[in-house]
Structure 1
Amino acid sequence: MDYIRLTRQFTFEAAHALANYNGPCKNIHGHSYKLQVTILGQPITNSADATYGMVMDFGDLKKLVNEFIVSPLDHALILREDTTPELVGTLQQLHHKLVLVPYQPTCENMLLDFRNKLQPNLPACIKLHSLRLWETENSFAEWYASDNT
């Protein structure tokens, strides 16, 4: 049986700041992120199955990525969890959507976080093949399962 790759693209708006960085990205700034999620699997061969001929329903992939990545991050400010308590407290008092993460919120680290959230929630017969995250129109980072085996 042949393997097929499916890719779904997502977009979300988010801001972040890179703590202790010595460039302009140390300041809070935003991006229009674009995320490509590619999975690998074999089309379902059971003709009685509603998803016959599919690797995975695109709608199911969309639901999964929206639940674990897009919805939590869209229009949020992503900061390290060791950000000064005064700043965190002020943002929370002002009811800003704040996501605190245990890592520097770079494009690279965000991809690793996305991998960790998606892989265990995919059906057993589906493999996460790759992730690509654009931070700007001209700059992106990629994660490939095959690079990490």
Structure 2
Amino acid sequence: MIITRKIELDYGHTLPNSFSFCNQLHGHRGIVEATVEGSIIDRKGDAEEGMVMDFKFLNDIMMTHIHDILDHGFAVWKDDHEDLEFICKRNKRVVITNEPPTAECLAKWAFNQIKPHLPENVTLNNLRWYETPNNWADYTGND
């Protein structure tokens, strides 16, 4: 069985090498969807009987390890020294990335943020990062 949970957050970033407006400091209303897979729990009387996992627990993991780290913060590339210095002076919530903080990079980051916190019997199949309603990246853990 496969289930998906969605959260929303506001974040900023810049892509200094971009030829478009993305080379400016700017923000997005991001949407993050985590799709997990597992067997339906069939332990009689268990609070999660009939579920892969409780949506509330998946939400808690996503909120703690993605939202609460990046919401109203900035994702900035470690090699973007000028913006990194400025952003770190101004913001408490900063995610420093090893590559430019594109939707693809942030999908991979978010996948790796939540995967270790899932129950042992649940597999993270896909992390979808919406940068805008029309643009998103999917990461499946396969590089």
Q: TM-score, normalised by structure 2?
A: 0.89
Residue 103, structure 1, aligned to residue 99, structure 2 = yes
Match of 2:65 among 65, 68, 78: 68
Return closer, same or farther for 1:6/1:98 CA change in 2, 3 Å cut-off. same
Which residue type is aligned with residue 42 of structure 1?
S
Number of residue-to-residue matches in the alignment: 143
Task: Quote the residue 1:58 is aligned against.
Answer: 55
Distance 2:129 2:39 in 1: 25
Residue 133, structure 1, aligned to residue 138, structure 2 = no
Q: What do residues 96-115 of structure 1 show as CA deviations (whole Å, max 9, x unaligned)? A: 53322222100011111112
Identity %: 30
Q: How far apart are residue 88 of structure 1 and its match? A: 3.8
Which residue type is aligned with residue 46 of structure 1?
R
Which residue type is aligned with residue 11 of structure 2?
A
- Structure 1 or 2, whichever has the larger Rg, is 1
Gaps of 5+ in 2: none
Gaps of 5+ in 1: none
Following superposition, which runs of at least 4 residues in structure 1 exceed 3 angstroms of deviation? 86-97
Q: How far apart are residue 53 of structure 1 and its match? A: 1.4
Q: How far apart are residue 121 of structure 1 and its match? A: 1.6
Distance 2:34 2:139 in 1: 10
Q: What do residues 23-79 of structure 1 show as CA deviations (whole Å, max 9, x unaligned)? A: 211111111001111111111111132211111011100010111111101010111
Distance 1:94 1:37 in 2: 30
